[in-house]
Amino acid sequence: MRAQRRIERRRFLGRAASGGAALLLGGCDRLSHSTWFSRMLNSAEQVNRHVQTAITPPGTRGRSYTEADLSPHFKSNGTHDPSDPDYQSLARNDFAEWRLEVGGLVDPPMHLSLADLRALPAVTQITRHDCVEGWSCIGKWTGAPLRTVLEPLGVQRRARYVMFFCYDTVGAAGEKYYESIDLEEVQHPQTILAYGMNDRTLPIPYGAPLRLRLGRQLGYKMAKYLKRIELVESFRHVEGGNGGLYEDNGYEWYAGT
Ligand X SMILES: Nc1nc2c(c(=O)[nH]1)N[C@H]1C(S)=C(S)[C@@H](COP(=O)(O)O)O[C@H]1N2
Point out which residues bind ligand X (CB under 6 A): 75-79, 129, 131, 166, 168, 170, 177, 205-207, 219-220, 222-225
Residue 23: DSSP 8-state:
P
Could you tell me if 195 and 118 are in contact, meaning their C-beta atoms sit under 8 angstroms apart? Answer: yes
CB of 244 to ligand X, least distance (A): 10
* Residue 125 β-bridge partners: 141
Residue pair 150/134 in contact (Cβ under 8 Å)? The answer is no
Q: Are strands 100-104 and 226-232 parallel, antiparallel or unpaired?
A: parallel
Q: Which stretch binds Mo ion (CB under 5 A): 23-31, 142-150, 175-183, 219-227?
A: 219-227
Let me know: does 9 contact 16? Beta carbons within 8 Å: no
Tell me which residue of 94, 108, 101 sits closest to 165, measured CA to CA.
101
Measured from the CB atom, is 129 or 160 closer to Mo ion?
129
Give the residue from 17, 15, 38 showing the smallest Cα distance to 26: 38
Binding site partner of 222, from Mo ion, ligand X, none, Cβ cut-off 5-8 A by kind = ligand X
- Nearer to ligand X by Cβ, of 133 and 151: the residue is 133
Assess 219 for contact with Mo ion (CB under 5 A). yes
Site string for Mo ion, 111-150 (x = CB under 5 A): --------------------x-------------------
The residue ranges that bind Mo ion (CB under 5 A) are 131, 219-220
